Structure 1
Amino acid sequence: MALSEHEQRLLDEMERGFYQSEADVLQAGSSEPRRLNYRSLVLGIIVVILGIGVLVAGVAVQLLWLGLIGFAVMLGGVILMLSRRSSGPLTVEDITSAGSGPKAPRSRESLSERMERRWDQRMEGER
């Protein structure tokens, strides 16, 4: 069944909007390349090696609590290795807000809610 001229124009407009929004999403996702933080990586490796040493010492002297501490230190080293820290310098606000007490929990949006909100913002911007 053939589309009328009005329906064809609407379909073309919808396709253009879809391709344009798809390009926006692809650009937003690749705006900042992920880089390794070598300082965290090296420090994490050192902490893991230290944890292995404590774990082996705990096994050698047959102290369970020392082995558990060694395992916890190793786990902390792995977490430190995998963490990505912000590359920007610390500001005065960062330092003062760090010790200001508990913060209100942020509301977490699901992926579908974020995508829907971004879509609505794009559509409102085109009007």
Structure 2
Amino acid sequence: MALSEHEQRLLDEMERGLYQSEADVMQTVSGSRRRVNYRSLVLGIVLALVGIGVLVGGVAAQQLWLGLIGFAAMLGGVLLMFTPGKADAFESDASPVNQSGAGRKERTPRESFSDRMERRWDERMDGDR
């Protein structure tokens, strides 16, 4: 069953809107990618465990101030664990550049989600023929 001109125009508008919103979402997601900072993760875990120990020790000794210090250390450790890494650390090149420039990695542009799906669809359709 063929679509009328009006329906075809509406379908094209909806498709353009979908591609635009998809591009916005993918740009937001790729822009928020951050590297895991293992140092702050390990320090946060250690600080949280020490905080739990101090909290339990404060409760066992019936010392309110010691329990509060333990709770604050636990909270600080958890916050330290979940602090995001720096975005520019993910993008930086730490390798020194030779005279010929061979030490540098060339970044290849990544294919967008919609381009990748379209390419896969075309490959499937070409494979069926």
**Counterpart-to-counterpart distance in 1, 2:87 and 2:22:** 27
Instruction: Supply the distance in 1 between the matched residues of 2:63 and 2:7 (Cα, whole angstroms).
Output: 77
Amino acid at match of 1:27: M
2: CA distance between counterparts of 1:49 and 1:18?
50
Report the Cα distance in structure 1 between the residues aligned to 2:15 and 2:52, rounded to whole angstroms. 58
Give the superposition deviation at 1:85: 2.7
Q: Distance in 1 between matches of 2:82 and 2:61?
A: 31
Partner of 1:27: 26
Q: State the Cα deviation string for residues 35-83 of structure 1 (Å, max 9, x = none).
A: 4321111010111122122223312332111111111111111111111
Report the counterpart of residue 17 of structure 1 in structure 2: 16
2:76 aligned residue: 76
SS of the residue 2:88 aligns to:
coil
Unaligned regions of 5+ residues in structure 1, if any? Answer: 90-127
% identity of equivalent residues = 49
Residues of 2 paired with 1:38 and 1:77: CA distance?
13
Aligned to 2:56: 56
Question: What residue in structure 2 maps to residue 36 of structure 1?
Answer: 36
What is the Cα-based RMSD across aligned positions, in Å? 2.7
